[in-house]
Copies of this chain bind each other. A is one copy, B any other.
Amino acid sequence: MSLPHALLGLLAVQPASGYELTKEFDRELGRYAWQAGHTSIYPELNRLAERGLVVVTDSGPRGRRTYEVTGAGREELRSWLLTPPANGGVVRNEQVLRMFLISALEPADARRVLRRIAEHTGTAAAELRGILGSEPDAGRGARAGFGRLAAEFGVRQYDAAHEWALWALDQLPDPPAPEAAPENEAEDEAENEPAR
Protein backbone atom coordinates (compact mmCIF):
# COMPACT_ATOMS: atom_id res chain seq x y z
CA MET A 1 0.00 0.00 0.00
CA SER A 2 2.81 2.42 -0.70
CA LEU A 3 2.04 3.53 -4.21
CA PRO A 4 -0.85 5.80 -3.23
CA HIS A 5 1.38 7.50 -0.68
CA ALA A 6 4.17 7.89 -3.16
CA LEU A 7 1.74 9.66 -5.49
CA LEU A 8 0.39 11.85 -2.72
CA GLY A 9 3.94 12.78 -1.81
CA LEU A 10 4.85 13.77 -5.32
CA LEU A 11 1.66 15.76 -5.77
CA ALA A 12 2.11 17.43 -2.40
CA VAL A 13 5.32 18.97 -3.67
CA GLN A 14 3.85 19.96 -7.00
CA PRO A 15 0.66 19.30 -8.95
CA ALA A 16 1.22 17.08 -11.95
CA SER A 17 -0.38 14.85 -14.55
CA GLY A 18 -0.23 11.09 -14.56
CA TYR A 19 2.23 11.29 -17.38
CA GLU A 20 4.59 13.52 -15.42
CA LEU A 21 4.28 11.33 -12.36
CA THR A 22 5.18 8.34 -14.48
CA LYS A 23 8.38 10.05 -15.56
CA GLU A 24 9.15 10.86 -11.96
CA PHE A 25 9.18 7.14 -11.27
CA ASP A 26 11.83 6.70 -13.92
CA ARG A 27 14.21 8.84 -11.91
CA GLU A 28 15.68 8.44 -8.43
CA LEU A 29 12.34 7.60 -6.90
CA GLY A 30 11.91 4.49 -9.01
CA ARG A 31 15.57 3.59 -8.85
CA TYR A 32 15.97 3.56 -5.08
CA ALA A 33 12.58 3.63 -3.50
CA TRP A 34 9.53 2.47 -5.38
CA GLN A 35 9.02 1.36 -8.94
CA ALA A 36 5.78 1.87 -10.80
CA GLY A 37 4.70 1.96 -14.42
CA HIS A 38 1.93 4.04 -15.92
CA THR A 39 -0.36 1.01 -15.86
CA SER A 40 -0.49 1.13 -12.09
CA ILE A 41 -0.24 4.89 -11.74
CA TYR A 42 -3.27 5.91 -13.80
CA PRO A 43 -5.72 3.57 -12.09
CA GLU A 44 -4.33 4.55 -8.70
CA LEU A 45 -4.84 8.24 -9.45
CA ASN A 46 -8.45 7.51 -10.25
CA ARG A 47 -8.84 5.63 -7.01
CA LEU A 48 -7.27 8.51 -5.07
CA ALA A 49 -9.65 10.92 -6.76
CA GLU A 50 -12.62 8.75 -5.80
CA ARG A 51 -11.44 8.76 -2.21
CA GLY A 52 -11.16 12.54 -2.35
CA LEU A 53 -7.44 12.63 -1.65
CA VAL A 54 -6.62 14.32 -4.94
CA VAL A 55 -8.60 16.41 -7.44
CA VAL A 56 -8.26 17.28 -11.08
CA THR A 57 -7.63 21.02 -11.22
CA ASP A 58 -6.81 21.47 -14.85
CA SER A 59 -7.27 19.87 -18.25
CA GLY A 60 -4.69 20.29 -20.96
CA PRO A 61 -4.15 19.38 -24.61
CA ARG A 62 -4.22 15.61 -25.07
CA GLY A 63 -6.76 14.69 -22.46
CA ARG A 64 -4.16 15.70 -19.96
CA ARG A 65 -5.42 16.10 -16.41
CA THR A 66 -3.46 17.87 -13.73
CA TYR A 67 -3.94 16.49 -10.22
CA GLU A 68 -3.57 18.31 -6.96
CA VAL A 69 -3.62 17.01 -3.39
CA THR A 70 -6.61 17.93 -1.27
CA GLY A 71 -6.50 18.73 2.42
CA ALA A 72 -7.59 15.18 3.17
CA GLY A 73 -4.81 13.87 0.94
CA ARG A 74 -2.22 15.95 2.69
CA GLU A 75 -3.49 14.74 6.04
CA GLU A 76 -3.37 11.13 4.89
CA LEU A 77 0.21 11.53 3.71
CA ARG A 78 1.24 13.25 6.90
CA SER A 79 -0.21 10.63 9.18
CA TRP A 80 1.34 7.86 7.11
CA LEU A 81 4.77 9.44 7.33
CA LEU A 82 4.46 10.21 11.02
CA THR A 83 3.15 6.84 12.18
CA PRO A 84 5.57 4.16 13.31
CA PRO A 85 7.35 2.18 10.58
CA ALA A 86 5.09 -0.72 11.62
CA ASN A 87 6.72 -4.07 10.84
CA GLY A 88 9.46 -2.58 8.73
CA GLY A 89 7.64 -2.23 5.48
CA VAL A 90 8.01 -3.85 2.11
CA VAL A 91 11.58 -4.59 1.02
CA ARG A 92 12.31 -6.02 -2.36
CA ASN A 93 15.52 -5.14 -4.13
CA GLU A 94 17.00 -7.36 -6.77
CA GLN A 95 20.40 -5.67 -6.76
CA VAL A 96 20.82 -6.15 -3.06
CA LEU A 97 19.61 -9.72 -3.33
CA ARG A 98 22.33 -10.38 -5.85
CA MET A 99 24.90 -9.03 -3.41
CA PHE A 100 23.61 -11.36 -0.73
CA LEU A 101 23.83 -14.37 -2.99
CA ILE A 102 27.41 -13.82 -4.03
CA SER A 103 28.64 -16.05 -1.22
CA ALA A 104 26.94 -18.93 -2.99
CA LEU A 105 29.31 -18.64 -5.92
CA GLU A 106 32.79 -20.02 -6.35
CA PRO A 107 35.44 -17.45 -5.45
CA ALA A 108 36.37 -16.78 -9.09
CA ASP A 109 32.75 -16.03 -10.03
CA ALA A 110 32.20 -14.08 -6.85
CA ARG A 111 35.20 -11.91 -7.64
CA ARG A 112 33.82 -11.26 -11.11
CA VAL A 113 30.44 -10.17 -9.82
CA LEU A 114 31.92 -8.05 -7.06
CA ARG A 115 34.16 -6.27 -9.52
CA ARG A 116 31.16 -5.51 -11.69
CA ILE A 117 29.28 -4.16 -8.69
CA ALA A 118 32.22 -2.06 -7.60
CA GLU A 119 32.55 -0.60 -11.04
CA HIS A 120 28.87 0.07 -11.46
CA THR A 121 28.37 1.68 -8.07
CA GLY A 122 31.46 3.77 -8.62
CA THR A 123 30.34 5.26 -11.90
CA ALA A 124 26.75 5.63 -10.72
CA ALA A 125 27.88 7.61 -7.69
CA ALA A 126 30.09 9.79 -9.86
CA GLU A 127 27.25 10.48 -12.28
CA LEU A 128 24.88 11.42 -9.50
CA ARG A 129 27.53 13.70 -8.03
CA GLY A 130 27.86 15.33 -11.42
CA ILE A 131 24.14 16.01 -11.62
CA LEU A 132 24.09 17.21 -8.04
CA GLY A 133 26.92 19.64 -8.72
CA SER A 134 25.68 20.97 -12.03
CA GLU A 135 22.01 21.41 -11.12
CA PRO A 136 21.33 25.08 -11.56
CA ASP A 137 18.40 25.22 -9.14
CA ALA A 138 19.95 24.05 -5.87
CA GLY A 139 17.95 26.82 -4.28
CA ARG A 140 14.36 27.64 -5.08
CA GLY A 141 13.17 25.38 -7.92
CA ALA A 142 9.69 24.02 -7.26
CA ARG A 143 10.83 20.61 -6.15
CA ALA A 144 14.41 21.59 -5.45
CA GLY A 145 14.56 20.20 -1.94
CA PHE A 146 13.03 17.00 -3.13
CA GLY A 147 15.65 16.24 -5.72
CA ARG A 148 18.54 17.23 -3.54
CA LEU A 149 17.60 15.09 -0.56
CA ALA A 150 16.90 12.13 -2.79
CA ALA A 151 20.03 12.51 -4.89
CA GLU A 152 22.21 12.93 -1.84
CA PHE A 153 20.73 9.76 -0.43
CA GLY A 154 21.50 7.98 -3.66
CA VAL A 155 25.10 9.13 -3.64
CA ARG A 156 25.60 7.89 -0.12
CA GLN A 157 23.98 4.56 -0.91
CA TYR A 158 26.18 4.05 -3.93
CA ASP A 159 29.27 5.03 -2.03
CA ALA A 160 28.45 2.59 0.74
CA ALA A 161 27.80 -0.21 -1.72
CA HIS A 162 31.00 0.63 -3.55
CA GLU A 163 33.08 0.51 -0.40
CA TRP A 164 31.40 -2.71 0.59
CA ALA A 165 32.19 -4.35 -2.73
CA LEU A 166 35.85 -3.40 -2.42
CA TRP A 167 35.94 -4.69 1.12
CA ALA A 168 34.23 -7.92 0.09
CA LEU A 169 36.74 -8.44 -2.71
CA ASP A 170 39.47 -8.11 -0.15
CA GLN A 171 37.68 -10.61 2.04
CA LEU A 172 37.57 -13.37 -0.53
CA PRO A 173 40.02 -16.20 -0.03
CA ASP A 174 42.78 -16.91 -2.51
CA PRO A 175 43.29 -13.72 -4.49
CA PRO A 176 44.20 -14.38 -8.14
CA ALA A 177 47.95 -14.21 -7.43
CA PRO A 178 49.16 -11.49 -9.82
CA GLU A 179 51.19 -13.16 -12.58
CA ALA A 180 54.45 -11.24 -12.59
CA ALA A 181 54.14 -7.47 -12.34
CA PRO A 182 53.43 -6.60 -8.71
CA GLU A 183 52.73 -2.97 -9.55
CA ASN A 184 50.03 -3.42 -12.16
CA GLU A 185 47.10 -1.19 -11.41
CA ALA A 186 44.04 -0.32 -13.51
CA GLU A 187 44.76 -3.02 -16.04
CA ASP A 188 41.60 -3.73 -17.96
CA GLU A 189 41.18 -7.30 -16.76
CA ALA A 190 38.49 -8.44 -19.16
CA GLU A 191 35.79 -11.07 -18.70
CA ASN A 192 38.01 -14.14 -18.81
CA GLU A 193 41.15 -14.11 -16.76
CA PRO A 194 44.05 -16.14 -18.20
CA ALA A 195 43.02 -19.47 -16.68
CA ARG A 196 45.22 -19.17 -13.65
This chain: copies in complex: 2
Bound complex: CA of A90 vs CA of B105, how far in Å? 22
Interchain CB contact under 8 A, A81 and B93: no
Decide if A19 is an interface residue (CB 8 Å cutoff): no
Interchain CB contact under 8 A, A88 and B31: yes
Report if A91-B89 is in contact (Cβ < 8 Å); known contacts: A82-B112, A150-B100, A153-B99: no
Q: Which residue of B lies closest to A30 (CB)?
A: B91
- Which residues of chain B come closer than 8 Å to A150, judged between CB atoms? 99-100, 103
Interchain CB contact under 8 A, A34 and B93: yes
Kindly specify which of A44-52, A53-61, A162-170 makes contact with the partner chain. A162-170
The main secondary structure of chain A at its interface with chain B is: helix
Interchain CB contact under 8 A, B81 and A113: yes
Interchain CB contact under 8 A, B77 and A104: yes
- Which residues of chain B come closer than 8 Å to A30, judged between CB atoms? 91
Q: What is the CB-to-nearest-CB distance from A82 to chain B, in angstroms, rounded to a whole number? A: 6
Kindly specify which of A2-10, A127-135, A176-184 makes contact with the partner chain. A2-10
Bound complex: CA of A10 vs CA of B100, how far in Å? 9
Q: What is the CB-to-nearest-CB distance from A166 to chain B, in angstroms, rounded to a whole number? A: 11
Decide if A102 is an interface residue (CB 8 Å cutoff): yes
Interchain CB contact under 8 A, A109 and B95: no
Interchain CB contact under 8 A, B109 and A146: no
Given A100-B153, A149-B171, A152-B168, list of 16 further CB < 8 A pairs?
A: A2-B94, A5-B101, A12-B104, A13-B104, A32-B91, A34-B94, A34-B100, A77-B101, A81-B101, A81-B109, A89-B93, A90-B93, A93-B93, A100-B150, A148-B171, A152-B164
